[in-house]
Amino acid sequence: MNRFRNTLFALLLLLLPATLLAQYQPSASGEVIKHIYYSFSYIEDHEQPEWVYYKLTPSLVNGSQSRTDNFRPDPNVSTGSATLADYKSSGYDRGHLCPAGDMKIDKSAMSETFYMSNMSPQEPSFNRGIWKKLEATVRQWAIDEGTIHVATAGVLSTSSDHIGTNNVTIPKYYYKVVYAPDSEKMIAFVLPNKKSSSTLQSFVVSVDKVEQLTGVDFYPQLDDALENKLEANSNATQWSFKQYNSLSIKHTATTESTSSATQCKGIAKSTGNRCKNKTTNANGYCYAHQSQAPGYVKPKSSNYSDRCCATTKAGARCKRNASNGTRYCWQHQK
């Protein structure tokens, strides 16, 4: 009997996140797919979602799970999702909609953020700049508020440009809508898909504005009077714009880069002089000169499916998984 109860309890725990996902799910004009920690409405004509929705909590943000980088098509999309080939050599990043950094609670949560259905073509300077700052700010809001609800995607009607054989639309703008139920406040952003040095506050708009741009009805489950009041508001002063920073991850990185670091024994090919990099590698060679280390054996690329063979600038081996058919992750491809 106890075994039955334990099994039933475990099944309920598995079902609980998916149930919570529907709490404030936006209206949909595409195929609605529900993963464990986020859901989305997939628009086949654009090969990406019109929205990705998820509930963000401190436990999701403060987890210790590292990135998996296992980009792959989403088998749950009935018409087939975009593929890695669509983005290859396109000049655009595979921009996360539900960020990997929001799903650090466990390997399953992290892994499902790397479905290609959760990607959208983003200018590298945008994805790694202002968009990254916004994602970090939203994470901090989850810490401050306890629980927030997030909806985000590209504004699909703003572009006719595409990449890949599947014609993945390149949005000119991206939006993010955030609702904090405990403090009864909302905020929304619309950002151009390009490099920006402007403040995040300068991109704040009302939720009503995002609904006009996208045709999506956000938070229709709310009482109409409350919904109308919150969605008309565009007051950025109600929110702190401090960016989330995991102290534990920062501490680990600092330790790796400074603990027992010595000058690399390698010889720079360009000058013929000893490398000036510092490294904590036991063999005494930095990330750039591992091939010069005594006894080094170059791994075979074929059928290689293991940890990335590159060494980080801190002198430690990369923790990401290698991409299929190579010895390196996406960042260290050679």
Structure-token match 């993010």, residue found: 176
Residue 2 lies in a domain: no
Q: Do 290 and 143 share a structural domain?
A: no
Residues 146 and 56 in one domain: yes
**Residue 90 sits in the same domain as residue 120:** yes
Q: Which residues pair with 79 in a beta bridge?
A: none
Q: Where does a domain end: 244, 259, 287?
A: 244
Question: By residue range, what is the domain housing residue 286?
Answer: 246-334
From 244, 276, 296, the end of a domain falls on: 244
Q: Catalytic residue among 96, 149, 289, 332, which?
A: 96
Asked if residue 319 is part of any domain, the answer here is yes
- The pLDDT value given to residue 299: 55
Asked if residue 213 is part of any domain, the answer here is yes
- The answer on 221 and 96 residing in a single domain is yes
Which has the closest alpha carbon to 212: 187, 238, 231? 231
251 part of the active site:
no
- Do both 117 and 177 map to the same domain? yes
Q: Quick one: pLDDT at residue 15?
A: 45
User: Do residue 101 and residue 25 come from a single domain?
Assistant: yes
Contact 150, 177 (CB under 8 A): yes
Is the same domain home to 240 and 325? no
Among the candidates 189, 215, 244, a domain finishes at 244
Say what the pTM is.
0.69
Are 141 and 34 contained in the same domain? yes
Q: How many structural domains comprise the chain?
A: 2
Mean pLDDT, consecutive 10-residue stretches, the chain (334 aa), reads: 46 44 84 95 97 95 91 96 96 97 94 97 97 96 94 92 96 97 95 96 97 95 92 92 67 35 77 75 72 70 61 67 65 63
pLDDT, position 17:
47
Contacts of 202 (CB under 8 A, 6+ apart): none
Residue 65 shares a structural domain with residue 177: yes
Neighbours of 317 (CB within 10 A): 14
Query: Based on the domain organization, do 145 and 190 belong to the same domain?
Result: yes
Shared domain check, 172 and 103:
yes
